[in-house]
Every structure is written in structure tokens, then in C-alpha cells.
């Protein structure tokens, strides 16, 4: 195989990381006839089942994730979403048919819920991004799939379809308050943990091997023959030879591959969870048959960037904040500072000179303020019903400077690819992104706009969307911000790391 040629279908391929990038790559490699595909992950996913509550702290290990088609003027992602949503429906059908049910799941489970996604705004007029979403979808032949709360004809369509509660999920109009937003009726949510389990089961069924575990599945280093990467060594000392190695380690990737400096960085989002009691009137009101997934003021910097979901089958009601992207810069063995994921499940450990962090159970105070301020205004029933925050989570994204993914061969390292840089919006592509990654591995259809956007790159003349690598002194570093120890809808408590 040369630097750009496809690997032989019989040669070994090792994927490091079983988040959505790794899972989808494995699935599509097997579908395309590759016969020796191994996926390594340090997480014991057969036990934790992609559940954060059971100790899985990858971005993909979650209760639910937003699925949406609308992407403003970024039609390359809109097209990718249309392809993904068709596949999400197929996955539901396959699951229901019962021929491929992962252990512990049943034919009653779904991996996608088409409850729509509404993008809300504090302004009284539709922001330019929302208008671009309507326009982009109409131009692609999806007229009247995007319903604006401010356009009477759209409200009528919503009423005819019985979508009134989805158009005003926080009952703002009933309270005499303005309600500005666009409901993407093609969207909804992925049931994230179950979707990952389904993808894993599908890939296994097609012959992919999975090696999980802190020792057996954790990549310690890449193995080289001159400048060619010929596989990886895991912590148990075993070498896994590969003709092609794919690093898909989410927020851990930039630390494992320092060449990503300036292109990718791990940043944290802040998530709170409520447990809605079954006897509460909110149980029905926040159910997916009445309540959409939602986003609020996504382009309003630190004061906005909220999103959320209906309660799930167990009553978990999740609300997230992305307005400030926190970092955890730690000095590395080579002297550089790189942001490193740290969660309540992190082991305090030393790997050579590299401290991989400590546990983090507290929560950014500013995120707490924005979240509680929003909920007290938009969903006061939570306080009225005395339903308080049950759990907080700091969840690690892999941001690129321009919010596009990175799927490419690593320059000057033959036999090595990366599939990462999800930048907060890749989960929805679990069913199909691997097909694109395998195309890139094979060097085919390389002129597509998305594929070009995902190339290895460095910051050019344009202003970056995300400022990366502020370092230990940076204003978003967890070391430099106030944290609350016990998050509550009423809490004023704060603490410093």
C-alpha cells in the first residue's frame, strides 16, 4: 500500500476508540468486505454498556443526542444528515424486526426518536442562521419541514400535524412571553447508549473484533518501522499489527497524536440531569410524544448555548451548556500543554511523566448560573415541583478550530489515519460517517465538499471559530475557574479548584 492507496481487504486494520467514529468505521469496513478489523478501547463497554452512570465517560457514551438536518448554509452537513436520518429509520426497523438485537436490548427498543428539534432564540425575530436553515432545506426539496414559530403559515402546518406542543415546548405563549424558533421536523434524538450498542453488535456480527479493557484495550503507543506506523502496543504489552491504524480516540486523540496541536483540542461541555418522578405532571409534559429536543441561543457566546431533550424512559431529563468550552491543560512529557479529558470516572494516574488528571465531580459555576437562570425562567415547574439537579457531568468534546471534523491520513506517517474532531455535532452520523471514512481510506470520491473540509489542515487567514490551546494560564482552563461542589437549582455555593 502506498501513502494514498487503499489497504488490501485481507490486511489487518486496527481502530483505536469505540466511540461513534470508531464504531462506524468498523461497521462500514466490514460491510465493504474488509476481513481483519480490530477495535481497541480502554472502556469495558460490554459491562458499562455506553452508560455514563455505569462509568463510561466518552462523548458517545450518553443518554441521548440531538439529530437534526438543519445546518444553516453548511449544506455539506445537511446532506450528510439526510443520509443519516434515513439510516436511523432503517436501524429502528431492523431492531424491531428482531434479527439483530444486542444483548440486554429488546425489539421494543428504538435507537432514534423522530420527535423534532426546535432551535429557540431570545430575539423576537428569526436570526440569520435560522433563516438559512429554512432556505437550505427548501432548496434541497424539503419544503415545510422547517416550521418557524413566527410565520403564521408554518404555525398552521404545525397545527394540522398536531405539533403545537413541539412548537412551544416551554409554554411561553401561554405565559404571554415571546417564543421564537424553528422546529426541524426531520430531526429528533438518538438514544445514544443503545445506538452505540446496536452499532457494536452490527459490527461484531459482520466479523469485527473488539478488545476492551483498561489493560488489554488501551493503546499505550504506536509501533513504527522507520516512518511507517505498523500497529499499536496496548498497556498489557501486546502488539497489534496493522496495515492501517485509525486513531478515533475522541478528546484523548490530541494527547496521543501531538501533530494535532493547533488543529484539535479536548474541550468540556457541562451537563445537568434531573430525575422526573413518574407521578409528577411533568412526566407526561416532558415525554417525547409532546416535547422536542431543543437548542437555545446557540450563537450567543457564554450567555447562550443550551440544549436539551425530553425525559427518557427512566425519567432522566438532561440539559446541557456549551456556551463556554472549558479545557484541562496539563503539561506533557514533551513540555507542551495539552487539554486532557477529566471526569468523575478518571483514574488519577501517572503514565511516564504525563499526569492524566484527577477525578472531577464538581461543576463550572458559570455553566451552573446560565443553566439555572434559563430553567428558572423557561421551566419554573421544576422548582415549583421541588425537582432538583440529581447529577452533573463534564463531557469532553474534540473541537477543531473551524468545527469541521478531521478525517485524513496523518502527514509523513504512512499507515496512520485519524477520524476525530467531532466538534460537538458528530453523533448523529453514527450510522453513516464510517462509509465516508472508508472512502477516504480508499482515496475515492475525494472531491466532495465535506471530505475536503475534513482534510488535515492548519489555521489560515480566516478567523478561527474556536480558539484552541490557550494553555494552563487560559481563562477557560478548569484550573482557573470557579466550580460548584453541589449544583442545585437554588444553590449559591461555590468552590475553587
Ligand X SMILES: Cc1cc2nc3c(=O)[nH]c(=O)nc-3n(C[C@H](O)[C@H](O)[C@H](O)COP(=O)(O)OP(=O)(O)OC[C@H]3O[C@@H](n4cnc5c(N)ncnc54)[C@H](O)[C@@H]3O)c2cc1C
Q: Is 204 exposed, middle or buried (0-12, 13-18, 19+ CB in 10 A)?
A: middle
Q: Please give the grid coordinates belonging to residue 309.
A: 431533550
Q: Give the integer Cα–Cα distance in Å for 145 and 127.
A: 18
CA torsion 158-164-168-171 (nearest 10°) is 160
In angstroms, what is the minimal distance from the CB of 431 to ligand X?
12
Q: How far is the CB of 97 from ligand X (least distance, A)?
A: 26
> Is residue 320 part of the contact set for ligand X (CB under 6 A)?
yes
Alpha carbon distance 105, 224 (integer Å): 41
479 CB-side CA count, 13 A: 14
Eight-state DSSP code of residue 327: B
d(CA 338, CA 275): 35
> Is residue 203 part of the contact set for ligand X (CB under 6 A)?
no
14 sits near ligand X (criterion: CB under 6 A): no
Q: Which is nearer to ligand X, 60 or 245 (CB)?
A: 60
Nearer to ligand X, 36 or 57 (CB): 57
Q: How many Å apart are CA 300 and CA 323, to the nearest integer?
A: 7
- State which of positions 215-254 bind ligand X (CB under 6 A): 217-219, 248-252
Verify binding: residue 22, ligand X, rule CB under 6 A.
yes
Which of 398, 400, 414, 435 forms a contact with ligand X (CB under 6 A)? Answer: 398
Among 37, 49, 65, 126, binds ligand X (CB under 6 A): 65
Q: How far is the CB of 308 from ligand X (least distance, A)?
A: 10
Comparing CB distances to ligand X, the nearer of 249 and 453 is 249
Which residues, listed in sequence order, are joined to residue 461 by a DSSP beta bridge? none
Q: Which stretch binds ligand X (CB under 6 A): 130-138, 214-222, 331-339, 342-350?
A: 214-222
Contacting ligand X (CB under 6 A), which of 48, 51, 60, 400? 60
Cell of 394: 463534564
Q: For ligand X, which is the closer residue by CB, 65 or 338?
A: 65
Output 280 or 435, the one with its CB closest to ligand X: 435
* C-beta closer to ligand X: residue 67 or 280: 67
Answer for which of 13, 14, 15, 16 binds ligand X (CB under 6 A) is: 16
Of 5-13, 175-183, 416-424, 441-449, which segment contacts ligand X by CB under 6 A?
A: 416-424
Largest CA distance in the chain: 69
In whole angstroms, the minimum distance from the beta carbon of 271 to ligand X comes to 5
Instruction: CB nearer to ligand X: give 154 or 193.
Output: 193
State how far Cα 393 lies from the chain centre.
14
Q: Tell me: does residue 321 bind ligand X (CB under 6 A).
A: no
Residues 6+ apart with CB under 8 A from 245: 13, 14, 15, 16, 222, 229, 231, 232, 415, 416, 417
- Count residues contacting ligand X (CB under 6 A)? 39
Candidates 18, 134, 260, 264: give the one binding ligand X (CB under 6 A). 18
Q: How far is the CB of 213 from ligand X (least distance, A)?
A: 9
Here's the x/- map for ligand X, 429-468, by CB under 6 A: it reads as ----------------------------------------
Rounded to an integer, what distance in angstroms lies between the CA atom of residue 17 and that of residue 105? 23
Pick the piece of the chain touching ligand X (CB under 6 A) from 39-47, 132-140, 257-265, 410-418. 39-47
Enter the C-alpha cell of residue 355: 499526569
**Residues 293, 117: Cα–Cα separation, whole Å:** 5
Q: Is 392 in the site for ligand X (CB under 6 A)?
A: no
- Told to check if 19 binds ligand X by CB under 6 A, we report yes
Asked whether the beta carbons of 14 and 420 are under 8 A apart, the reply is: no
Place of cell 430531526: 187
Q: Which residue has the cell 405539533?
A: 163
The phi and psi torsions of 408 (rounded to 5 degrees) equal -170, 170
Cell of 349: 494516574
Shortest distance in whole angstroms from residue 5 CB to ligand X? 25
On whether the CB atoms of residues 255 and 287 are closer than 8 A, the answer is no
20 binds ligand X (CB under 6 A): yes
If the CB atoms of residues 29 and 280 are measured against ligand X, the closer one turns out to be 29
Grid coordinates given for 455:
482534510
Q: Is 397 in the site for ligand X (CB under 6 A)?
A: yes
Burial 357-376 (b: 16+ CB within 10 A, else e): beebebbbbbbbbbbbebbe
- List binders of ligand X among 71-90 (CB under 6 A): none
Q: How far is the CB of 61 from ligand X (least distance, A)?
A: 7
**Residue 428 contacts ligand X per CB under 6 A:** yes
Q: What is the CA angle 296-298-300, rounded to 5? A: 105
Whichever of 256 and 286 has its CB closer to ligand X, that residue is 256
Tell the smallest beta-carbon distance from residue 326 to ligand X (Å).
Answer: 11
* CB-count exposure of residue 125 (10 Å: 0-12, 13-18, 19+): exposed
Q: Are 40 and 32 in contact (CB under 8 A)?
A: no
- 58 part of the interface to ligand X, by CB under 6 A: yes
Query: Between residues 154 and 219, which has the closer beta carbon with respect to ligand X?
Result: 219
17 touches ligand X by CB under 6 A: yes
> Which residues contact ligand X by CB under 6 A?
16-22, 40-43, 58-60, 65-66, 217-219, 248-252, 256, 269, 271, 320, 395-398, 420, 422, 424-428
Amino acid at each position: 500500500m502506498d501513502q494514498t492507496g487503499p489497504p488490501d481487504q485481507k490486511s489487518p486494520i486496527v481502530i483505536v476508540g469505540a466511540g461513534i467514529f470508531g464504531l462506524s468505521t468498523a461497521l462500514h469496513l466490514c460491510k465493504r468486505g474488509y476481513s481483519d478489523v480490530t477495535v481497541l478501547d480502554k472502556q469495558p463497554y460490554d459491562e458499562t454498556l455506553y452508560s455514563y452512570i455505569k462509568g463510561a465517560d466518552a462523548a458517545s457514551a450518553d443518554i441521548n443526542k440531538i439529530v437534526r438536518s438543519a445546518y444553516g448554509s453548511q449544506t455539506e452537513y445537511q446532506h450528510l444528515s439526510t443520509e443519516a436520518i434515513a439510516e436511523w429509520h432503517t436501524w429502528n426497523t431492523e431492531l424491531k424486526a428482531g434479527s439483530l438485537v444486542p444483548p440486554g436490548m429488546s425489539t421494543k427498543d428504538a435507537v432514534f426518536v423522530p420527535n423534532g428539534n426546535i432551535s429557540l432564540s431570545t430575539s423576537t425575530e428569526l436570526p440569520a442562521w435560522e433563516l438559512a436553515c429554512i432556505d437550505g432545506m427548501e432548496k434541497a426539496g424539503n419544503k415545510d419541514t422547517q416550521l418557524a414559530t413566527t410565520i403564521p403559515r408554518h404555525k398552521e402546518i404545525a397545527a394540522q400535524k398536531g405539533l403545537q406542543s413541539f412548537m412551544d415546548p416551554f409554554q411561553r405563549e401561554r405565559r404571554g412571553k415571546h417564543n421564537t424558533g424553528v422546529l426541524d421536523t426531520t430531526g429528533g434524538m438518538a438514544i445514544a447508549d443503545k445506538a452505540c450498542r446496536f452499532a457494536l453488535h452490527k459490527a461484531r456480527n459482520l466479523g469485527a473484533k473488539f478488545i476492551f479493557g483498561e489493560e488489554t484495550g488501551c493503546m499505550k503507543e504506536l509501533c513504527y518501522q522507520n516512518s511507517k506506523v505498523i500497529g499499536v502496543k496496548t498497556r498489557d504489552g501486546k502488539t497489534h499489527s496493522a496495515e492501517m491504524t485509525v486513531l478515533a480516540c475522541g478528546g484523548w486523540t490530541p494527547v496521543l497524536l501531538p501533530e494535532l496541536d493547533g488543529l484539535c483540542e479536548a474541550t468540556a461541555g457541562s451537563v445537568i440531569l434531573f430525575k422526573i418522578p413518574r407521578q409528577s405532571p411533568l412526566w407526561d409534559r416532558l415525554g417525547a410524544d409532546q416535547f422536542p429536543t431543543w437548542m437555545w441561543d446557540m450563537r450567543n457566546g457564554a450567555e447562550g448555548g443550551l440544549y436539551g431533550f425530553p425525559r427518557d424512559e427512566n425519567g432522566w431529563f438532561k440539559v446541557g451548556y456549551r456556551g463556554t468550552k472549558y479545557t484541562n491543560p496539563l503539561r506533557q512529557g514533551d513540555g507542551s500543554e495539552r487539554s486532557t479529558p477529566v471526569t468523575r470516572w478518571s483514574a488519577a494516574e501517572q503514565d511516564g511523566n504525563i499526569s492524566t488528571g484527577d477525578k472531577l465531580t464538581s461543576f463550572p459555576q458559570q455553566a451552573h448560573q446560565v443553566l439555572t437562570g434559563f430553567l428558572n425562567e423557561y421551566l419554573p415547574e421544576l422548582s415549583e415541583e421541588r425537582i432538583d439537579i440529581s447529577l452533573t457531568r463534564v463531557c469532553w468534546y474534540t473541537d477543531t478550530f473551524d468545527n469541521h471534523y478531521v478525517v485524513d491520513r496523518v502527514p509523513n506517517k504512512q499507515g496512520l489515519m485519524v477520524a476525530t474532531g467531532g466538534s460537538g455535532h458528530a453523533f448523529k452520523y453514527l450510522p453513516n460517517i464510517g462509509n465516508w471514512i472508508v472512502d477516504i481510506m480508499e482515496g475515492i470520491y475525494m472531491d466532495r465538499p465535506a471530505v475536503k473540509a475534513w482534510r488535515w489542515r492548519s489555521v489560515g487567514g480566516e478567523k478561527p471559530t474556536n480558539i484552541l490551546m490557550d494553555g494552563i494560564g487560559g481563562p477557560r482552563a478548569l484550573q482557573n475557574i470557579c466550580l460548584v461542589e453541589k449544583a442545585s437549582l437554588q444553590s449559591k455555593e461555590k468552590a475553587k479548584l
